[in-house]
């Protein structure tokens, strides 16, 4: 397990910056927004625009890391495009006007029209046409994780519907429709794995093309009462998991089989919902619910390559427009979605895959020599194993320390007090179940190490 580079140095609460709020923030309508503010993860800068405080930033980076790992596992290449784009490219594609008021338009000092990118199809197509001319360089999938801006009419729910938000967007370039559909399936599989690693059940559902266009598109939805989309599905789809099966992302057959498995049960958003098909699902498995869109994949063919002249030599002497798709994951929205899916009335419950710290250490009697020494020793043992504990070494009441730990949602807590130490034990508590066990400090360390083994 590799420690993240964002926060290995300040894991003692007395030296951390964790501005936990005592009062319930009134502006928050849903629990994820409320808890992110209360746990000191974000601070609103203006409507739909947030600063990411150290704890929030750490989770954001963990989620980003998982997205990178799964994209690269699928063979997709990371890069970085700018946030500001020239208007000309969007005039070329015809979307400069279509995008309407959601696009933030900026004029630079020379009077040139610029925009803060809401997405990157134009920019990536321009890169492609400048550098790729032959089928021999295909298939190619490039992606980046970058801030986007959409001037949403109603930014709300904290990072769930922000104006500035962090998004992974990837673009595949293929010679034929068939190849591009393999890329589509490959993205579907990599997304399933990505969300599973975050402890989420995200269901791919047939969706509508919208302004990006295209007939092939699926949205990934996390079921939650506070979700903005109405969804209809066969409950059989929620039983599916990838687990640790090996996937060869180059195998057309394997990716197709997984696509078929996940898309066989009925699952659609209200945009494409079809009552006639839905009634064919056995009644006891028919579900209507709400969901949060955490990603979407598209195949849109030659829509952009036609108008922007992105062609390749097909090896038979023809210049043909390249087949493309685009694939997005709402990286910052995922924090909200995970909290909506995993919390209780005391606070957040982070799944192990995304937790900002692997476990908390609560010292019940700060400045007691024995208790302090035991906590330091636990802290050292855990960090030596590459784990990141958060040690609450503040001079605070036990109740306040527990309250903070419960709110920020670390999945495991080790509680150290003079009474237990007399018997040679500490207490290990699961945030999710609330169950505790007493065990010698080194056994608690070993148990935590085992839990995180294989979680990466
Ligand atoms: P929505 O329907 O929620 O407005 P979208 O379909 O317009 O989203 P996409 O263009 O598919 O969004 O963007 C890819 C992903 O980025 C979405 O699946 C979503 O998770 C995330 N996303 C989109 N808009 C926002 C936003 N305003 N704030 C946070 N995340 C967003
Ligand atoms: Mg979408």
Task: Give residue-wise pLDDT tens across range 364-419.
Answer: 999 999 999 999 999 999 999 999 999 999 999 999 999 999 999 999 999 999 99
Q: For residue 456, count other CB atoms closer than 10 A to its CB.
A: 11
Q: Residue 213: phi, psi to the nearest 5? A: 85, 175
367 with 338: CB under 8 angstroms?
no
CA separation for the pair 162, 333 (Å, rounded): 8
Q: Which one of 333, 334, 338 would you pick to mutate in the ligand 1 pocket, going by the greatest count of ligand atoms within 8 A of its CB?
A: 333
Ligand 1 atom nearest 212 alpha carbon: 10
For residue 8, pLDDT beyond 50: yes
Distance 165 CA to ligand 1 centre (A): 9
Residue nearest to ligand 1 atom 23, measured at CA = 330
235, two tokens:
């409950």
Within 8 A by CB and 6+ apart from 385, the residues are 1, 445, 449
Torsion angles phi and psi, residue 286, rounded to 5: -80, 125
Please state, in angstroms and rounded to a whole number, the distance separating the CA atoms of residues 169 and 382: 36
Where is average pLDDT lowest: 188-192, 207-211, 389-393, 410-414? Answer: 207-211
Closest CA to ligand 1's atom 15: 330
**288 has which bridge partners?**
232
The Cα 260–Cα 266 span in angstroms is 12
Interval between CA 330 and ligand 1 midpoint (Å): 6
Question: Which tokens belong to 371?
Answer: 């208790």
The number of the ligand 1 atom at minimal distance from the alpha carbon of 160 is 29
| Ligand 2 (single-atom ion) residues, CB below 5 Å | 296
- Name the nearest CA neighbour of 119 among 145, 148, 85, 94: 148
CA of 308 to the centre of ligand 1 (A): 25
**Distance between Cα 296 and ligand 2 center (Å):** 5
Query: Residue 4 has what pLDDT?
Result: 58
Q: How confident is the model at residue 202 (pLDDT cuts 50, 70, 90)?
A: very high
The Cα–Cα gap between 142 and 130 comes to 15
Q: Ligand 1: which residue has its CA nearest to atom 31?
A: 330
Give the Cα-Cα-Cα angle 125, 145, 4 (nearest 5 degrees).
155
C-beta separation of 350 from 411 below 8 A: yes
Give the residue whose CA is nearest to atom 27 of ligand 1: 161
At residue 43, the pLDDT reads: 97
Q: Which residue's alpha carbon is nearest to atom 2 within ligand 1?
A: 293
294 C-alpha to center of ligand 1: Å? 7
Query: Using a 6 Å CB cutoff, which residues line ligand 1?
Result: 119, 150, 152, 161-162, 165, 167, 293-296, 328, 330, 332-333
Q: What is the pLDDT of residue 454?
A: 77
Contact 288, 231 (CB under 8 A): yes
List helix spans (H) across 10-137: 31-38, 54-73, 87-93, 95-98, 121-131
> What pLDDT sits at residue 209?
73
- Which residue has tokens 């338009």? 105
User: Residue 161: nearest ligand to its CA?
Assistant: 1
Omega before residue 139 within 30° of 0, cis = yes
Strand partners, 325: 172, 299
Which stretch of DSSP H or E encloses residue 170? strand 164-174
pTM for the predicted model, two decimal places: 0.96
Q: Model confidence over 426-445: pLDDT tens digits? A: 999 999 999 999 999 999 99
Calculate the CA 160 to chain-centre distance.
Answer: 11
- Torsion angle, alpha carbons of 133, 137, 139, 144, to 10: -80
Q: Which two tokens stand for residue 108?
A: 């630079």
């Amino acid at each position: 397990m590799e420690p993240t580079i964002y926060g290995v140095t300040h894991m003692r609460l007395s030296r951390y910056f964790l501005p936990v709020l005592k009062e319930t923030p009134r502006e928050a309508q849903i629990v994820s927004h409320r808890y992110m503010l209360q746990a000191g993860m974000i601070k609103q800068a203006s409507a739909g625009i947030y600063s990411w405080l150290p704890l929030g930033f750490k989770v954001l980076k963990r989620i980003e890391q998982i997205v990178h790992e799964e994209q690269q596992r699928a063979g997709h290449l990371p890069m970085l495009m700018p946030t500001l784009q020239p208007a000309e490219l969007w005039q070329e594609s015809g979307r400069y006007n279509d995008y309407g008021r959601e696009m933030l338009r900026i004029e630079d000092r020379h009077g040139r029209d610029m925009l803060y990118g809401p997405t990157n199809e134009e920019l990536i197509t321009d890169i492609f046409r400048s550098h790729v001319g032959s089928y021999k360089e295909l298939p190619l999938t490039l992606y980046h994780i970058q801030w986007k801006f959409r001037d949403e009419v109603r930014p709300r729910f904290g990072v769930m519907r922000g104006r500035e938000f962090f998004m992974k967007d990837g673009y595949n370039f293929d010679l034929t429709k068939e190849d591009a559909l393999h890329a589509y399936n490959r993205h579907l599989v990599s997304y399933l794995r990505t969300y599973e690693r975050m402890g989420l059940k995200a269901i791919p559902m047939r969706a509508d093309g919208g302004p990006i266009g295209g007939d092939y598109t699926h949205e990934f939805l996390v079921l939650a009462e506070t979700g903005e989309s109405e969804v209809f599905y066969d409950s059989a789809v929620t039983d599916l998991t990838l687990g640790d099966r090996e996937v060869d992302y180059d195998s057309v057959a394997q990716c197709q089989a997984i696509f078929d498995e996940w898309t066989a049960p009925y699952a659609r958003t209200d945009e494409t919902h079809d009552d006639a098909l839905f009634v064919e699902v056995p009644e006891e498995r028919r579900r209507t619910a709400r969901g949060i869109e955490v990603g979407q994949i598209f195949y849109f063919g030659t829509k952009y390559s036609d108008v922007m002249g992105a062609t390749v030599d097909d090896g038979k002497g023809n210049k043909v427009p390249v087949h493309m798709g685009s694939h997005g994951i709402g990286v910052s929205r995922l924090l909200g979605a995970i909290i909506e899916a995993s919390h209780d009335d005391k606070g957040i419950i982070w799944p192990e895959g995304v937790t900002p710290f692997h476990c908390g250490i609560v010292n019940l009697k700060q400045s007691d020599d024995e208790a302090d020494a035991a906590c330091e020793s636990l802290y050292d043992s855990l960090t030596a194993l590459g784990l990141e504990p958060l040690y609450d070494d503040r001079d605070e009441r036990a109740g306040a320390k527990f309250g903070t730990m419960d709110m920020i949602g670390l999945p495991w807590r080790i509680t150290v007090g003079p009474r237990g130490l007399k018997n040679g034990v500490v207490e290990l508590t699961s945030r999710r179940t609330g169950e505790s066990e007493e065990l010698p400090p080194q056994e608690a360390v070993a148990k935590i190490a085992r839990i995180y083994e294989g979680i990466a």
